Chain A
Amino acid sequence: MCARDRIIRSRWSVVLAAVALAGCAHPPSPAGWLPGPRDAPTDAFGAWVRLDLGGTKAANPSGELLVAETDSIWILSQGRVNGRALASVQRVEMWTYAPTSDGLVGWTLLGVLSTVSHGYYLALSAPAWILVGAVASAVESRTGREFLVPSDLDGLRARARFPSGWPPDFDRRTIAGKRVEVRAPHDGRLDAWPGGP
């Protein structure tokens, strides 16, 4: 009875932790595309952006930020260069590196599980873990993200692959994106990102 109840309590704690940690932000880029904090200083590509055109999140185009100009913004999406009038963009969600909140989530879950050793103090320590862990993870998950308005042209340019605009005589059809190994969402087989993002 004791062990069973403790297990039930532990399961509830994990469920609560999972619910609490659901507040984390997730980048819209393919898994593995964004560098982690350690690799960000040597990453040669532009930030991953999602252009808020006023529609649903899913309908908003996203991809690597290539160029930001006074009247347009260019991204590399699904292997194709995609240009949008800056006037049609309400806001730019920008990810420059993948957050490390997964580590904090793991840390929190480990902490929550460890409270089974606290006896009745679990009633205090488990919620404390969940609360602090949820807040810390949620905050951490947003660290690689910025929201810019289209008028912040300097901010957009700085995080583009080409801050000074399109290189002279550059054939946009030859541009290649970062190649990352991603897991196909449906059939589960490993495959390369088709033609780069």
Chain B
Amino acid sequence: MAMARACTGLLLLAGTMLFTGCARRVGREFVEPAQASTLDHESPYLKAHLRDGELCILANWSVDEAARTVRGHGIRFDAARSSSRILDVLVPLDSVVLFETNVVRLSPTITSLAVVTGASVSLTIYCALNPKACFGSCPTFYVSDGEREVLQAEGFSGSVAPVLEASDIDALYRARPGSRRLDVRMTNEALETHVVRTVDLLVAPRPEGGRVLVTSDGTFWEAFEGPPLERASASEGDCTAQLAAFDGVERWSSTDSTDLAAREAVDLEFGPGCSGPAGLRLACRQTFVSTSVFYQSLAYLGTHAGDWIAELERGSTLARERIGAMQRALGGIEVLVPDSTGSWNEAARVDEMGPIATDVHLVLLPPLPAGATRVRLRLARGAWRLDNVALVRLGRRVQPFDLAPAAVHRDGIPDADALARLTDRTRTLTTSPGDTYVLTYVLPADFERQELFLASRGYYLEWMRKEWVAQEDPVRAVAFFADPHAALRAMAPEFKRGEASLETQFWGSRYVRP
């Protein structure tokens, strides 16, 4: 299909050449005989309007000012415009009332279309060569931050088959409801079929001076700001400024050119004074790496991708293990703390998938020693974007309550069927690319003091792209799942070559930003 796209590009180019020939303009000038010397000799034809109503149209024309004549080969028309072909015409200037020259040029408006054509053909070729850069994302959720609608969550990103249906809790950390009514816009912006079972709000009372955070295993804790981040360093040097605030300024690195699973460390140092139970607040999202690896696996499976999904559905433990092995090879973010001997021990791990929306996680830390707190993050190079890391003091564990949507609208019209599907856990709502639903929730009266989380459950089916099928390679597919580490090493050089442009193109292709 890459060939088909290339053909589309060539067709567009051919059409461009065809139509370019049609886009012309006429530059016309009128000159009185007295100014015959100023006639535009670029004009291949000269029209001489004679006083008796006749007209001479001359080619190869010239003006003889001394003889006060115009000479050329052409046609002489009488007043009724009957023509008589004459090889040589000699026209006295005195008999001419007006000369007319016409120069035909390419229209300047084609410049704009030529620019668009160039960009369009480039895009066609780019998509032919890099089909995995031309797609969207998982189910996405938009909620107002008090000023504008912001992409705040993406649901069940790892649930790529019915059997992998899972629940996902995302903190709506930036949500700022203006009233008891909260609208959540759910969109399908990818070439995927989303099967959504539930989209509920989890609501927990926010403590005075603190927030409520959720851990990866779904426990909710009151959290209060702890000592500030004093220093953060990674291979590129100091990255404190990027990590100190949840402000959209992210710290990220590029992948290793020999191994996509190659690890790196980010060392954090917080000020002293955090006594009692503590945790790490981590705002992050994945980069393009995991998604690209996933799509590459589908490309290798090609026409057998359906067999693979069916294998999963039949409960094949082997298929599940293979998926898990690849996820483990890329890994999540390991949070390490030093023990009394100075060795780094893993305290927890963040595995939340998805490259679109930045999610806020809580990682529970073991009892911290007095003095400064040191934490190390270990993660695959180039695989994660870190927005904010903060040490928090933990308060009570809290139990949020569940809010189902009170209304669902599609294209501004109430959709009772969608509402029924999203509130009946035995049923699902299926969405296709371009579908948008607005889910409305009724919050408690003290909504301003409530922490909100989005709990979605479902799965999605990736649409096989024709370009992927073209890359079907059963041998590499087997190798990919049999030895994920080797596969990630094999993929690294090719990914590295296109890494910068893939990121740019991926985000540039979207009309939303995290």
Residue positions of A touching B, CB distance < 8 A: 1-2, 5, 36-38, 40-42, 44-45, 96-97, 100, 102-104, 106-108, 110-111, 114-121, 123-125, 128-129, 132-133, 135-136, 139-140, 143-144, 157-158, 161-164, 166-168, 170, 174-176, 178
| Among all A-B residue pairs, the 7 with the closest Cβ atoms | A103-B22, A167-B53, A119-B134, A41-B102, A107-B19, A164-B97, A37-B24
- Residue B358 CB within 8 A of the other chain: no
Residue in A closest to B74 when the chains form the complex, CB atoms = A42
Which of A42, A45, A107, A163 meets B15, CB within 8 Å?
A107
Given contact pairs A111-B117, A163-B97, A140 touches B109 in the complex (Cβ within 8 A) = yes
A143 touches B8 (CB 8 A): no
Task: Report B-chain residues with C-beta under 8 Å of the C-beta of A102.
Answer: 22
**Shortest CB distance B155–A (Å):** 19
Residue in B closest to A175 when the chains form the complex, CB atoms = B80
User: Would you list which residues of chain B between 366 and 410 have a CB under 8 Å from chain A?
Assistant: none
Task: Report B-chain residues with C-beta under 8 Å of the C-beta of A132.
Answer: 112-113, 115-116
Task: Report B-chain residues with C-beta under 8 Å of the C-beta of A143.
Answer: 25, 107
Task: Report A-chain residues with C-beta under 8 Å of the C-beta of B193.
Answer: 1
Task: Report B-chain residues with C-beta under 8 Å of the C-beta of A123.
Answer: 509, 511
Task: Report B-chain residues with C-beta under 8 Å of the C-beta of A116.
Answer: 8
- Residue B79 CB within 8 A of the other chain: yes
- Residue B351 CB within 8 A of the other chain: no
A117 touches B124 (CB 8 A): yes
Chain B contact surface mostly: mixed
B81 touches A45 (CB 8 A): yes
Counting chain A CB atoms within 10 Å of each CB, which of B16, B28, B128 scores highest? B28
Task: Report B-chain residues with C-beta under 8 Å of the C-beta of A125.
Answer: 119-120, 123
Task: Report B-chain residues with C-beta under 8 Å of the C-beta of A110.
Answer: 11-12, 15-16, 19
User: Would you list which residues of chain B between 19 and 50 have a CB under 8 Å from chain A?
Assistant: 19-26, 28, 30, 43-45, 47, 49
- Residue B77 CB within 8 A of the other chain: yes
B511 touches A2 (CB 8 A): no
How many residue pairs between the two chains, A and B, have CB atoms under 8 Å in the bound complex? 178
- Residue B5 CB within 8 A of the other chain: yes
B102 touches A119 (CB 8 A): no
A140 touches B107 (CB 8 A): yes
- Residue B292 CB within 8 A of the other chain: no
Residue in A closest to B131 when the chains form the complex, CB atoms = A119
Which of B112, B134, B432 meets A135, CB within 8 Å?
B112
- Residue B135 CB within 8 A of the other chain: yes
Task: Report B-chain residues with C-beta under 8 Å of the C-beta of A144.
Answer: 26
Please, how many angstroms separate the alpha-carbon atoms of A108 and B371 in the complex? 68
A104 touches B16 (CB 8 A): no
Please, how many angstroms separate the alpha-carbon atoms of A114 and B433 in the complex? 20
